[in-house]
Amino acid sequence: MPETKNSRVAQADADPMFIERWSPRALSPEPLSEKEIMALFEAARWAPSAYNDQPWLFRYAATEAELKQFRNILMERNLLWAGKAPFLAFLFARRKFNHNGQPNNWAVFDTGAAWMSLALQARKMGLYAHAMAGIKKEEAYRILDVSEEDYEAVIGIAVGRYGDPQLLPENELVREKYNMRRDISDIAVKGLKKTE
Amino acid sequence: MPETKNSRVAQADADPMFIERWSPRALSPEPLSEKEIMALFEAARWAPSAYNDQPWLFRYAATEAELKQFRNILMERNLLWAGKAPFLAFLFARRKFNHNGQPNNWAVFDTGAAWMSLALQARKMGLYAHAMAGIKKEEAYRILDVSEEDYEAVIGIAVGRYGDPQLLPENELVREKYNMRRDISDIAVKGLKKTE
């Protein structure tokens, strides 16, 4: 683990898994086992969702042939590090509810919950999950043959064991550290006080 | 715990916290401690987000005077059970990035990740968090004096210890059970195979 391990400071007594989870770029190319991959999705599967619609769809690659195709959906900058990951996924949110075909205004929100579960389960197995906001969405729909009318492409995900940070390009190596967070008082406001 | 405890069936070996988390309605009115409340937000705070923007804002109530005001934002059906919860929160997503003022297309997704962390931390402390998709959004903006231009009201959250399900109205009691999930094969597709 990088020496930045303890640079984060807790403000309350939550489970250490939250403060210890982070998103490194130095991922080892060592493959994930089928058991590990299924555990990632098992965790994501149990996330709560509006009307229990479970609007998340993971499209994933875990063999070199699959990864080669999936890398075409990554932005150039992410390709520099995520291009070596042994597991890539693109996460989609289904736009309409299954039970009535109406727009699901919580689809993206609920999909975020499923992603968080996957990321925490990764750490439970010694893996790291790193989300990529910037992806080539048009390529995601096209290459993966997913209907843009039915699904919204939300993020890309790289998963792997921790690798050798010295193998990162210099511009990426300087970003290889724990990032910080706002204070609790900035994100949680009690009672009727104004936000600004 | 209800007898439905073991009705969920795992498909892979993920941490039990995911499959054991659920969203009951029979919440005890026993107050949360300040320490518990801060731990909920501490967990949420460390969620990852695009550009580390941390677009989530929790507005919460934990005293009877505050709860009385917050209950006006709940839908009638949720009021039947969440009206007794000792902790209510409304979760907002900030529409624009702090660093450049541009629209944040991941704000709602990232806020979903923060919510999931809060819900899992609740279980670590013997508490249950139940999200409510349907809320009176206009009332949320008005009562909490939050700018709709700057923030999107996403969900309501009730948190508490498990209470007595026999105190639930009959219509709500029948819903007081673990819900199921789709198979992993429905939410995770490998390689370039089509989704449908």
Does B106 reside within a domain? yes
In 3D, which of A92, A99, A102 has the Cα closest to residue A55? Answer: A92
In 3D, which of B97, B117, B115 has the Cα closest to residue B55? Answer: B97
- pLDDT tier at A194, thresholds 50, 70, 90: low
Given phi > 0 = left and psi -120 to 50 = alpha, else beta, which region is A179?
Answer: beta
Measured N-to-C along each axis, helices B34-45 and B107-124 cross at an angle, to the nearest 10 degrees, of 140
Domains contained in chain A, number: 1
ipTM of the prediction: 0.96
Does A193 reside within a domain? no
Does residue A4 have a pLDDT over 70? no
Question: What confidence tens digit (pLDDT) does each residue in B148-196 have?
Answer: 999 999 999 999 999 999 999 999 999 999 999 999 999 999 999 754 4
Average pLDDT of span B107-120 = 98
Torsions phi, psi for B64 (to 5 deg): -60, -40
Residue whose entry in the numeric block shows the structure tokens 């054991």 = B20
Average pLDDT of span B23-29 = 97
Average pLDDT of span B14-40 = 97
Inter-chain CB proximity B121 and A47 less than 8 Å: no
Please list, in sequence order, all residues whose beta carbon lies within 8 angstroms of the beta carbon of residue B170, skipping any fewer than 6 positions away: none
Determine if the pTM surpasses 0.90. Answer: yes
Does B41 reside within a domain? yes
Does B81 reside within a domain? yes
The tokens for B145 are: 């004096």
Question: What confidence tens digit (pLDDT) does each residue in B118-159 have?
Answer: 999 999 999 999 999 999 999 999 999 999 999 999 999 999
Across the interface, of A23, A154, A189, the residue whose CB is closest to B109 is A154
Does B32 reside within a domain? yes
CATH number, domain containing residue A157: 3.40.109.10
Does B20 reside within a domain? no
Within 8 A of B19 by CB-CB distance, chain A residues are: 42, 46
Average pLDDT of span B14-35 = 97
Question: What confidence tens digit (pLDDT) does each residue in B49-81 have?
Answer: 999 999 999 999 999 999 999 999 999 999 999
* Domain assignment of residue A51, given as a range: 25-187
Distance between CA atoms of residues B64 and B76, nearest Å:
19
Closest residue in chain A to residue B179, using alpha carbons only: A52
In 3D, which of A115, A113, A116, A41 has the Cα closest to residue B133? Answer: A113
Inter-chain CB proximity B66 and A191 less than 8 Å: yes
The minimum CA-CA distance between B87 and chain A, rounded to whole Å, is: 11
Does B188 reside within a domain? no
Does A99 reside within a domain? yes
